Amino acid sequence: MKPAKPKAKTRKVARPVAHSKAEKELVIVTGISGAGKASALKAFEDLGFHAVDNLPLGMLADFARLICKSAEVERAAIVVDVREGATLDRLPDILKDVRKLLPTRVVFLDAQDAVLVRRYSETRRPHPLRRSETVSRSIVEERQLLDPIRNVADTLIDTSNFNVHELRAHIQSRFGEEERKPQLLVSCLSFGFKNGVPLDADIVFDVRFLPNPHFVPEFRKRTGKDPKVAAYIRSFPQTEEFLERVSELMLYLLPHYVEEGKSYLTVAFGCTGGQHRSVMMAEEVRRRLKKAGYQVKTAHRDIPREPK
């Protein structure tokens, strides 16, 4: 039987395989419940992947063989998670056999515990384990069960700071047929040191060395997003020099993060209250990185929420 000709160019996986099935690809989506696996699977489906949710592990090798033989399915994405039950620990061994058949990547979605608890509270859905008394305890138990799978994952995605749309956009950017660089979403986050340093910050810059607009009466109740406040902060020579140095540093670092496969980077700017200097810096660095071609968003942890 002659092998079917590929219908379109697809992304090749770097992992070596024993068979010449480079046109084919299998993605296993797994991770912590509440981290966004359903949204990720929909994003893969939108990219043309044949999507299957909660495929029994015992069928995984047979499913891989079907993909290899199929003239219709070139790429497939499946979700395997804690719903599998006691047999979940077999995945690393099964994965070795599957990778002999076709290129296979494991994408592990995770999020901070506090974020997961909040998501369960908002959706009012029970945790799939439901054996523990609280969601928090169920999350701890689930992490223990999934730890062996996390260790064999090719890609780790922390969805703590993603909304549904951002997660789907990130999946589509990273796993689309055409390589689009950089495959990294940068979050420029402002915060106030008096409320603590953000736990999810990858890089932290302290901008408390700049004069504080808080002590200017007309600026006290405004934020760094206000043009007049931003102009005041910019009026000091150290502001522009700091922006230039930070921008140069980030433009040097980001390609290396992309090369290492990092999917999300939080760059935090902190001042005393998180209202003025840090906000202005986050907005300006976002503008510069976006101009350089990166996917960037801003988040301001400690400024008052604007009325809708």
Taking the chain (308 residues) in runs of 10, the rounded mean pLDDT of each run is 41 37 79 90 89 88 89 88 83 89 91 86 75 77 86 88 85 66 78 90 95 94 94 96 96 87 86 95 95 91 67
Cβ atoms of 193 and 208 within 8 Å: the answer is yes
Domain ranges of the chain: 25-175, 185-300
Q: How far is 1 from 17, CA to CA, in rounded Å?
A: 21
C-alpha of 232 from chain center: 35
CB 278 within 8 A of CB 269: yes
Q: What does DSSP assign to residue 159?
A: -
| Amino acid in position 202 | D
Query: Tell me, what's the pLDDT at 116?
Result: 87
Q: How far apart are CA 211 and CA 121, in angstroms?
A: 41
Q: How many CB atoms lie within 10 A of CB 114?
A: 11
Contacts of 62 (CB under 8 A, 6+ apart): none
Backbone torsions φ then ψ of 110, nearest 5 degrees:
-140, 170
Cis check: omega of the bond before 3, within 30 degrees of 0? no
Strand partners of residue 105: 27
Predicted confidence at residue 181, as pLDDT, reads: 45
Give CATH superfamily name and number for 25-175: P-loop containing nucleotide triphosphate hydrolases (3.40.50.300)
User: Residue 1's pLDDT is what?
Assistant: 45
DSSP 49-99: -EEEES--GGGHHHHHHHHHH-SS-SEEEEE--GGGGGGGGGHHHHHHHHH
The answer to whether 149 and 106 are in contact (CB under 8 A) is yes
Residues 6+ apart with CB under 8 A from 116: 32, 33, 34, 35, 135, 139
